[in-house]
Structure formats: C-alpha cells, structure tokens
Structure 1
C-alpha cells in the first residue's frame, strides 16, 4: 500500500500527479482546502490537500537469469531489519509463495507521504515527540491492520469481484482516518504543554466557555500564536488582543448579512417549533414600518398550532397591517395578489420537526424564490449545535440565505452562532434578546458579535 499527500492549486493538478506517480488505479482518500501564508490572517493563498493511495504489487521474478546492472544494488533487507510489528505479515506471505513454487522474498511495509513541492518522504515508525506507550499502540494497530489484509496470490479466472475491492478500500480509508485522528489527538496534547501568553490563555478560556468547536478554536489560537512567535514574542497583551480581534473579525467579515434589502418584496420566515418565529416577525414588521416607512402585509401558513393565527392577528391589529391565511400554493398566489399594494410581505410558517427533510420540502412548496425574495431561518441560541446543523443542512438545499438567532437573553453562550457559520455559507442578520416588540431586535454587526465572544460590552 502506498499513501501520498499532495498540496496543489487545483484538482486537475492533483489528478495529473496522482496518475503519474501512483498509476490509474489510485484512489483519492480525502480532500481538504488549506490556507497558506499571508499576514495577520489575511492575504492567504488557497491550496487543496489531497491524500491518495494505491496498492503496490510486486511482479513474480522471471526464471531467466539476467545480467546484473553495473550500478551496485542496495543490500537486501534482512528479516532482522524488519520490525516485529510487520514480521507476521512477511512470514505468511512467504509461506503462501512457497506453496506455489515461488522464491521467498522479504516484505517491506512503507507509508509514503509527499507534497507537490517535495519528493517522497519516508515516515519513520519512531518519533521523538511520541512516547514509548503511544508508539507501541500505533505499532500494534498498524500490525493488526496489515495482518487483516488479504495476501496476494497468482491471478486466477475467479478474480475478486468489484464489490470486494470497494469494501477493502473502505476498510483502508477507515483505518487511515483512525490513524490520522490518533496522531492529531497526540499533537494537540503536545501543543497543550506549550506555554501561551496571558492574553492568549484568556482567549482560549473564553472560547471554551462559549463552547466553540475545538477545531475552530485551535485554528484561531494557532494563528495568533504563530504571529506572536514570528514577532519574537515581544507583543504586549493589548497588542495580542488586537490580533485576536483581527482574527475573529476576518472570520465574521463574510458571515454577516445586512438585514432586509430595500429591493425585497417578500420575506419567508421558517424554523423549528418554539424558536419565536411569530414574535420575530412582529419585531421585523415594526422595524420596517417605523424605521424604513414601508407598508407591510402578513401571510401565515401556521395552521397546525392552536391560536397561532390569533397571535399573529393580534400583532397585525396593533401594527395596523393586513393578514392573509394560506394552506396551499394556490392560496399563496391569491394572497400575494390581495397584498399587491404592500411594499413588503412577511410570511410566517408552521413550526415543524425540520430534522425531517420531508417537512422541509413540504414547506418549500409554498415558497417562490426570486430576486425580490429572501429566506430566513430562525434558530434559538439555546438549541443543541448538532440539531441546529441538521436543520440548517436540510434547509440549505432549498435556497436558504440568512439566519436570525433568537433567545440571546436566555443563554450565556454565543458559541452556537460561530459554530454554525463555520459549517455553512450563511449570513447572520438579526439577533433577538427578549420578547418586547419592537425593542428586542438587534441588527448584527462585526463589533457586536466580537464583543459577545470576548465578553466585552458594546
């Protein structure tokens, strides 16, 4: 088995290198986008990391004696030189070969890694940064993996089916992922030993208290730490805090929305049960009426919840706006015609179990996305991040654009917002921090979100 790592600009470049070095039977195991270089987290170049593998097969030595080349050959690898972790695999291969009259030959298991700018590098079994116990665990796991692989024999008419090959590749991929995860864990443990400057230690504690995902927190800590080291560790805490704000700001710059656009004619509001959609719609309507001086109309499709229509009807009466109730796409079309005189239409939808994509598709049948429409997903900051990600994934297939986060007043953690924006290309537009209409509606900006993360007052 040969495994190689490439860092390239484009996938076609990777494919060309993989075919040239590993052959046409090579399999791509994983791809990941990297950012390299830059200054203070900016001007970084995008690269692609590609990990590929192929099965190295040795041809049977020909019986005809050939003259040795003039160049002296490397000395053969003896059994004593083969690590104990791989000796069992070598002996089994030797026994299999002798059964069909083949000469015994040594087996050398190697793991090769390469980059686009460097040659093939042999990865040593022993590492000075890993202690003996950890190394023994890796050796035993790799030994079990090699022993579980099928041994090569002379090809026959009953070759292994394609399904068997895919299964073997799946096992290989799983083992490699486990090894990568183990090495990453060891690396993080070793990095945790290093001493961080005071300001960076405080930042790390803040990220943990807000439940920022470890991979995102590690990325920020590593970037600021590297800048600190590059500047000879002479930065003051104030200067480090500026670097931290720059790093967080660069993350948020592409993930903040400007709210409802002036050109928008209809806004679809969707979200799971209990996140405060109806109250949020009333806040948005009041904001558009009193600040933007628009004529607003309501449409509701929430016919599942008891008194849901009455709640929105009460807000419509207070704000003096028309209200239409719909249950089908045909009703939706007629309602829009009756509200044609409004500058902006806000549509409330039923709160359902949107972990089920069928409910999402059913809801989307009422929407008519266009250049003059916007779709908002309303999520509570008190929800579990895994549920938020699952719901967002289901909605993202149906033209989701922006997110409204509610119930900031009911939690001390802003982490779910950052974690969700890290996973999906969405824009946070509003945050609600209470039930008062229209006061408790905040337009999102970079300074506010940064202050919430760093526990600073706006």
Structure 2
C-alpha cells in the first residue's frame, strides 16, 4: 500500500492532487485543517492536510498466487472518514495473519506510525459541522437520517472552502431537512373529506386537540362543525367534549356501536366537517385497536389523524403507529411540544413511514395552542430556529 500526505489550500484542491498522483482508487485515511506559519507569526493561512493511500497494481498472475495467502486491506471510499480504533484493530489482525510478508509488515508499521501522529480524540467532523452533528444527536435523530444530513452538509462545507459560520451551516441543515420531507403530504384540514377521525393511545390529548381543530374551522374558516364521539369508556371524556360542543354551538352524537355510528353520519351530513373522537386505548392490546373497526366505518370520505405525544419514547411511538396503521393513518398530530426539548422523533417517524404531520400543539389553551404543520415548521422546531 502506498501512503502519502498532501497539503493544499482547499479540500477540492487536495482531491485533485490525490487523483492526479494516486488515481481514482485512492482512499482518504484522514483529513484536518491546519494553520501554516507566516512571516514573524503573521499572515497565517488555513490549509488542509490529507493522508491518502492506494493499493499497488498487481499483475493478474501475481494476484492468483497471492489470492489464498493475502486478504485485501479494508477500502474506505473517497471522502468518507475512518474510525481510528477500528482501522488499527483491522491492521493488527492482518499483521498476525500475514507475518510472513515482510514488505506488507513494513508498510503497516509505517502507516501505524503516521496514525499515531493523529490525535485520538479528533472528531469525524470539524467546527460547525461537529456542532450540528451533536445537535442532531441530542435531538435523537436516528443514525441513518443524521448521517445522510451531515454528509450533504460536508459536501457544501468543502465547496465553500470550509469557512462557513455555524449560523450558515444551521441554515444548510434546515434546507436539508426540508428537502428530505417536502415530498410528503403536510398540513391541516383541506375540507376535501367531510369526516376527520382522531385516534391514539391514552393521555395524548385527543379530545382537547379535536376542540382546537373545531374552533379553528369555525372561527377562521367559517365552517359548520359537528362532533361524533365513540369514547364511551370514560364518562369524563364525553362530558369534556359536550362542554366544548356547547361552547362552540356544535351538535354532538354519541355512538356505542357501528349501527350508531352510521346513524350519526347521516345526521351530520349537512355540516361542512364532522370531527370524530375515539377512546384512548392501550396500544399494546391489539383487540382494543381492532375494536375501532367495530364502531367506525372507515371509508374513502374519511381522514384519520394519529395523535402522538412528544413526551413518549421513540420506541413506543413506533409501536403505536404500527398498531394504528390498520386504521389507515393519513397524518400525524404531535402534541405536548411545550413539554419536551427533544423533537427528533417527529422527523424519524415522518421519514420512516412517509406520513406527514397535520398539526403541532403546544399547550392546553383552546383554540390558541395549535399550529398547522409544514416541513419548514418541523425543521425550525427541531433546530431551534425561529424564522419561517
């Protein structure tokens, strides 16, 4: 293996030098920004040190002879970073199995010596890129999504000569997130469907969220609204919705069976929108979720919103979706935004299932504490960015 260190004014320039001398099969072992000394310590310039390597070209007849004896060294694709511990461990393994190849051992010793010059605590990313990576990590963004986002930032970082500020990189991150989910359907009621069904586990705020949506429809969009509730398990839930309905001047139908539900639908046909409240169920009990189909007649004229609390664990939210997906979930509603500082699960769920969000709620006040969800709002909330 041929190993060489390159110094260039920019990362793209270093790549050109490596390709010119080592070819397209070269791999990057490490890269870092350094400051070159100036005149009497002044006029210092920023440059990049890159360690690259390439396997020597071996004639076919020699390859056949060595095939059974020598295992090929691990290849790290150009522009990707290598974990020092893993890399050295693999080298040590090769050393023990290939001790009868003096030239290979010599190259390994030289490579290990060069690796020792590199600080063991160097992050795969530098400056603002490292800060953004940590931000996404703290927000509990799943690894595959985080790596994809930071990889796109890395390309822009080197294109801009690696001198962008944290705020600039933060905006790049926002753009990357928006771009990743912009093809998914977001937003609140479009009034294309008359019946809006709200489902979810216990304690996520379904009834209060439904009242907020109803108030928004009536006060902002001047639509006529009716309620149907199938939550007959809790008397308090019926009373709560009846109170909201009375305040809004909207009728409410209580259903105990599928026959009741079909009658209620007919009774509400003259209203612009019909909001359906369901009982909070233990999502781990499949029977409770299946009972929805025994009470509610799901059809093409109905949208179903799954309400999830952001104070829940990510693993639980995935399980909840898997259970309620049988109800043909159209969009998410994320509640209790004001009760947590971790918003990554929103992005994880949206990307994993290809399901957008209708609303975010951030308090108990009706009708105020609800906002229509957009890809930009998701990105801003996750990154702590205020502007639209």
Superposition TM-score, scaled by structure 1 size = 0.59
Which residue matches 1:304? 233
Answer whether contact 1:256 1:446 (CA < 8 A) is retained: no
Cα 1:231–1:240, aligned 2, differ >3 Å: closer, same or farther? same
Cα 1:75–1:198, aligned 2, differ >3 Å: closer, same or farther? closer
| Per-residue CA distance 1:396-432 (angstroms, 9 max, x = gap) | 2331111100011111111111111121111111011
> Is 1:217 matched up with 2:173?
no
> Is 1:124 matched up with 2:124?
no
Give the Cα separation in 1 of the matches to 2:168 and 2:64: 58
CA drift at 1:455: 1.4
Answer whether contact 2:181 2:351 (CA < 8 A) is retained: no
| Per-residue CA distance 1:316-347 (angstroms, 9 max, x = gap) | 11111111111211110011112222211101
Cα 1:237–1:274, aligned 2, differ >3 Å: closer, same or farther? closer
Counterpart of 2:89 (choices 133, 136, 142) is 133
Cα 1:138–1:255, aligned 2, differ >3 Å: closer, same or farther? farther
> Is 1:449 matched up with 2:384?
no
> Is 1:424 matched up with 2:353?
yes
CA drift at 1:257: 1.4
Give the Cα separation in 2 of the matches to 1:332 and 1:309: 15
**Greater relative CO (CA pairs within 8 A, separation 6+):** 2
Which residue matches 1:356? 285
CA drift at 1:254: 2.6
Answer whether contact 1:268 1:367 (CA < 8 A) is retained: no
Give the Cα separation in 1 of the matches to 2:293 and 2:301: 16
Cα 1:139–1:216, aligned 2, differ >3 Å: closer, same or farther? farther
Which residue matches 1:202? 131
SS at match of 2:291: helix
Give the Cα separation in 2 of the matches to 1:371 and 1:365: 17
CA RMSD, aligned part only? 3.0
Within 5 A, what are the aligned runs for 1:205-284? 205-284=134-213
Cα 1:249–1:337, aligned 2, differ >3 Å: closer, same or farther? same
SS at match of 2:260: helix
Answer whether contact 2:346 2:378 (CA < 8 A) is retained: no
Cα 1:76–1:253, aligned 2, differ >3 Å: closer, same or farther? closer
Answer whether contact 1:266 1:344 (CA < 8 A) is retained: yes
Counterpart of 1:290 (choices 216, 219, 222) is 219
Answer whether contact 1:272 1:352 (CA < 8 A) is retained: yes
**How many residues in Structure 1 have an aligned counterpart in Structure 2?**
298
Which residue matches 1:332? 261
Which residue matches 2:333? 404
CA drift at 1:237: 4.3
Superposition TM-score, scaled by structure 2 size = 0.69
> Is 1:377 matched up with 2:377?
no
CA drift at 1:360: 2.0
Give the Cα separation in 2 of the matches to 1:414 and 1:298: 31
Give the Cα separation in 2 of the matches to 1:205 and 1:457: 20
CA drift at 1:131: 4.1
Give the Cα separation in 1 of the matches to 2:120 and 2:285: 40
Unaligned runs of 5+ in 1: 1-71, 84-122, 141-189
| Per-residue CA distance 1:182-223 (angstroms, 9 max, x = gap) | xxxxxxxx9984563432222122212211112211211111
